[in-house]
Amino acid sequence: MLGDRTRRAIVELLAERPRAVGELADLLPVTRPAVSLHLRALKDARLVHDTPHGTRRIYELDPAGLALLRTYLDRLWAGARDRFAAAAEAAHRADPAPDGERAGDPTTPPTAPPIPKGPTP
pLDDT tens per residue across span 26-62: 999 999 999 999 999 999 999 999 999 999 999 999 9
Q: Containing domain of residue 87, as a range?
A: 63-93
SS3 62: coil
Q: Is residue 53 part of a domain?
A: yes
CATH number at residue 39: 1.10.10.10
44 with 16, same domain: the answer is yes
Contacts of 22 (CB under 8 A, 6+ apart): 32, 56
How many C-beta neighbours within 10 Å does residue 28 have?
Answer: 17
Total number of domains in the chain: 2
Q: How far apart are CA 44 and CA 26, in angstroms?
A: 23
Work out the percent of the chain whose per-residue pLDDT is above 70.
79
pLDDT tens per residue across span 52-99: 999 999 999 999 999 999 999 999 999 888 899 999 998 888 876 665
Q: Which ranges of 1-121 would DSSP assign to H, the alpha helix? A: 5-16, 21-27, 32-44, 63-94
Mean pLDDT over the full length of the chain: 86
**C-alpha separations of 121 from 10, 105, 107, 117, 118 in Å:** 81, 37, 36, 12, 9
37 with 74, same domain: the answer is no
φ, ψ dihedrals at 51, nearest 5°? -130, 130
How sure is the predictor about 114, in pLDDT bands with cuts at 50, 70 and 90?
low
pLDDT of amino acid 1 = 77
44 with 67, same domain: the answer is no
86 with 46, same domain: the answer is no
How sure is the predictor about 121, in pLDDT bands with cuts at 50, 70 and 90?
low
Q: Is residue 55 part of a domain?
A: yes
Asked if 111 contacts 101 with a C-beta cutoff of 8 angstroms, the reply is: yes
pLDDT of amino acid 3 = 85
Q: Is residue 109 part of a domain?
A: no
pTM: 0.66
